[in-house]
Structure 1
Amino acid sequence: MSTSPSHKGSYRPLGGQYSEEKNDFSTSTTSLPDSSSTCTIQSSSPKEEFKVIDSESQAPSSPSSNSPSRLKIFFAISSQIFFAILVTILNKQALNVVRAPLFMLSLQMAFTAMMVKSYWRFSSNASQTLDLSSVKQLKKFIFVKILGIVCKTYCLSFVPVSFYQISRGLLLPFTILLSYLLLHQKTHAFPLVGCFFVMLGFVFGVQFEQHVPAIGIVLGIWSSLTTAIESVAVKHYVHEFPTFDLIYIFATYMSGFCFFLSVFSLELYSVVQTVNGAQVAKFSLILLASSCSNFYLNIATFTQIKVTSPVSYMISVATRGVLQTLFAVAFLRETLYMNRIYGVVLILGGTTLYTLAKERERRLANYI
């Protein structure tokens, strides 16, 4: 049962040092659910309790600390990697059958909204806080999320999965630049060495690529920029509103928006005119599998952020990129050319180097 939108006043953005540390983390990832946005605050001073939680999560772990088990950490990381790769490969397979990215996203988002609504209905300890009328408060969040996901999907429709990591290789440089311009967050010289390797991997991978249309590379660059905007802007909202409410409202409006664009752009009309019954059946089965995987990916990502550090997350991202490329070769029968191998290695190596350098800076700052 929905409560009044004014309830959001209890979810405040974090200030001070914690915000700076979250900025460091966001420069390496896209927008992800944050466990702090869904926790129940029982203290009379929410701000003070958030500070206590922050100090405990960021302090060096001691043997006596109540840290999660290795099995739980392994399960969280492996689940996130598995579902992330599965979603990318299934989406690519669906687009290979029917190239209708807007229609596909419309159905996926409708499924996500339905699953979140079902979770609220059958859960005894979770309920909806914001209703759909909160769109006015979340219009910027919804806009950047729709822009980022649509651009990523269009990029995936034009490039092979083995080249997807390279085509979006400028995500980290764009995020660092936007963080500096919009958040005034400075990056020291050593982490920028990792950023240089990332840009080198993108240039090397694109320059010698002869099997991808130019529109795919352009969409990859544009997708990197829009995802960077998303990662910089959305992090403010996940501290103000409950995560599942954000997912539900965003998924509902994106489903309707993408369906409208699919009809208005004649994408859906073209699909109806060109596909046959066998293609529709295959597309539907793949889409159902990808929608389920996408929902569980949100849960796995939420769990991983809760039990691991930013460095562990970025290492898992690097591992995922390599495995994703290998799975594309094995299951989609794509060809792994040498420029793609060098490009992926440089991009992932540079991203990992940047993350380790930023983590080292953060730890040194905590000890001073």
Structure 2
Amino acid sequence: MSPSLIQDAPQNVKVAAVVSFYMTSALIMVFVNKAVLNAAPDLPLLYLGIQLIIAVILLHGASFMSTKVQIPKLDAHTAKKLTPVVTVNIVGLVFNTLCLRGVEASFFQIARGMVLPLTIGVSCIHTHARPSGRVFIAAGIVTLGFLTGISPNKDLPASASPSVISLIYGMLSSLFIAVHAVLIKSSLPYCNNSTIELAYWTNLGSTVMVAPFILLNGELGTFVDLTRTPEWDGRTFAYGTLTTGVFGFLLCVAGLLSIKITSPITHMFSSAARSVLQTVLGVWLFSDILTVNRATSILVICGGTMYYTWVKNTENAAPKAPHAQNLDDGGDEEAHRLTTILEMKDEADEETVTLGHWSDSRKALDKA
């Protein structure tokens, strides 16, 4: 989708095109990820590592096509300073991958439903600022939806019930997403305040960090053994890895276009629609089981997140005194922009991060 074509199109066409592009990219990421993990459940770290390598290659390719994309010079001092944010990023991605491997595609959004409450909590602790009562209500609604979705159900077959360890992976993934959003601001100065440079460092550093664990986990040997097994569908792994690597990159573009072209309310409605589509497609493609509890959980989580969107949109629009500091408005625009870019890769996270910083992100993008 060319940015020049979007710029020349009428506004409603722009919005429809961007929303469709964003939803398609996000859905492809979830379902292709799930298909690959089903085909190669013993290769989660190798799969993740290859995706990260593809992201680094695509950033190099983008630098040849546009002068706005600058690849940073690698040095030990910067690498040391960026170790915390890179570590949190790769640990969060690993837990995210392990969670998706262990749960049904339609349940994945429930398993990671605590992203919003945890992000609010971590931001509150980091900034020493108390969010408004309405933000607490939104977090409470989402938490209620999460608890509804994971509550035991006697009618659910044992094979469809998520394991405790998968739910723990989902919680840890959500927590590391929240911490990652906080670390981004302090990391930017070490990258010349460049979102592209930090994105490059994050992907390259994550690749280096995950490599030893791929070896320790014996995944290279497992991969070689699988290639010698006639029954193994290696094409799903190969094509799926390439597809998710490319679409993960495109999802960043889709997220930025969504911020630049649409309003936060439009974005949230498209996200809610995507959640419904993800559930329906999960039932259709993978024969996932949809119970009343799960359907209710998804609706409540979407409702709480949409309420949070409305609250933050209202609070950001309200005039503030120069000394007033809002929970989500304390960072610089580059931090908000990078938070959006990096979290868009993780198909289910963008509602939390984008909503709180939408206005600042749009300003940053308009200047770009």
Gaps of 5+ in 1: 1-66
Structure 2 residue 282 is matched with structure 1 residue 328: yes
Query: Please, which of 284, 308, 333 is the counterpart of residue 262 of structure 2?
Result: 308
1:326 maps to amino acid: V
Q: Deviations over 1:250-276 (max 9, x none)?
A: 222222322321111223323433562
Greater mean deviation of Cα atoms: 176-185 or 308-317: 308-317
User: Is 1:131–1:249's contact at 8 Å kept on the other side of the alignment?
Assistant: no
Question: Within 1, Cα distance between the matches of 2:218 and 2:65?
Answer: 39
Structure 2 residue 46 is matched with structure 1 residue 96: no
Structure 2 residue 186 is matched with structure 1 residue 226: no
Gaps of 5+ in 2: 1-8, 323-368
Question: Within 2, Cα distance between the matches of 1:273 and 1:145?
Answer: 30
Q: Deviations over 1:56-83 (max 9, x none)?
A: xxxxxxxxxxx98232233222211210
Query: Please, which of 209, 215, 218 is the counterpart of residue 266 of structure 1?
Result: 218
Q: Deviations over 1:193-229 (max 9, x none)?
A: 2221111111111113551111111111111111111
Question: Within 1, Cα distance between the matches of 2:182 and 2:20?
Answer: 26
**Closer/same/farther in 2, CA of residues 280 and 129 from structure 1, 3 Å limit:** closer
Q: Deviations over 1:304-331 (max 9, x none)?
A: 2223344433333322222211221122
Structure 2 residue 97 is matched with structure 1 residue 145: no
User: Is 2:71–2:196's contact at 8 Å kept on the other side of the alignment?
Assistant: no
Question: Within 1, Cα distance between the matches of 2:284 and 2:69?
Answer: 42
**Closer/same/farther in 2, CA of residues 321 and 235 from structure 1, 3 Å limit:** farther
**Shift of the alpha carbon at 1:231?**
2.1
> Hey, what does 1:51 align to over in structure 2?
none
**Shift of the alpha carbon at 1:87?**
0.6
> Hey, what does 1:82 align to over in structure 2?
24
Question: Within 2, Cα distance between the matches of 1:238 and 1:301?
Answer: 20
Report matched runs for 1:8-19 at 5 Å. none
Query: Please, which of 108, 130, 135 is the counterpart of residue 191 of structure 1?
Result: 135
2:39 maps to amino acid: V
> Hey, what does 1:38 align to over in structure 2?
none
Q: Deviations over 1:119-174 (max 9, x none)?
A: 11233x33425223232332222122112211111111111111111111111111
Structure 2 residue 124 is matched with structure 1 residue 180: yes
**Closer/same/farther in 2, CA of residues 78 and 283 from structure 1, 3 Å limit:** same
Q: How many residues align?
A: 302
> Hey, what does 2:152 align to over in structure 1?
208
1:259 maps to amino acid: A
**Closer/same/farther in 2, CA of residues 318 and 233 from structure 1, 3 Å limit:** farther
Structure number with the bigger relative contact order (C-alpha 8 A, sep ≥ 6) is: 1
**Cα RMSD after superposing both structures:** 2.5
Q: Secondary structure at the match of 2:319?
A: helix
> Hey, what does 2:193 align to over in structure 1?
241
> Hey, what does 2:104 align to over in structure 1?
160
Greater mean deviation of Cα atoms: 278-287 or 235-244: 235-244
Question: Within 1, Cα distance between the matches of 2:310 and 2:10?
Answer: 22
Query: Please, which of 38, 41, 51 is the counterpart of residue 108 of structure 1?
Result: 51
User: Is 1:147–1:226's contact at 8 Å kept on the other side of the alignment?
Assistant: yes
Q: Secondary structure at the match of 2:21?
A: helix
Query: Please, which of 41, 53, 65 is the counterpart of residue 122 of structure 1?
Result: 65
Query: Please, which of 288, 304, 307 is the counterpart of residue 353 of structure 1?
Result: 307
**Shift of the alpha carbon at 1:237?**
4.2
1:352 maps to amino acid: M
1:203 maps to amino acid: L
Q: Secondary structure at the match of 2:106?
A: helix
Question: Within 1, Cα distance between the matches of 2:164 and 2:148?
Answer: 15
**Shift of the alpha carbon at 1:94?**
0.2
Question: Within 2, Cα distance between the matches of 1:340 and 1:184?
Answer: 35
1:312 maps to amino acid: T
**Shift of the alpha carbon at 1:352?**
0.7
> Hey, what does 2:326 align to over in structure 1?
none
Question: Within 1, Cα distance between the matches of 2:40 and 2:103?
Answer: 15
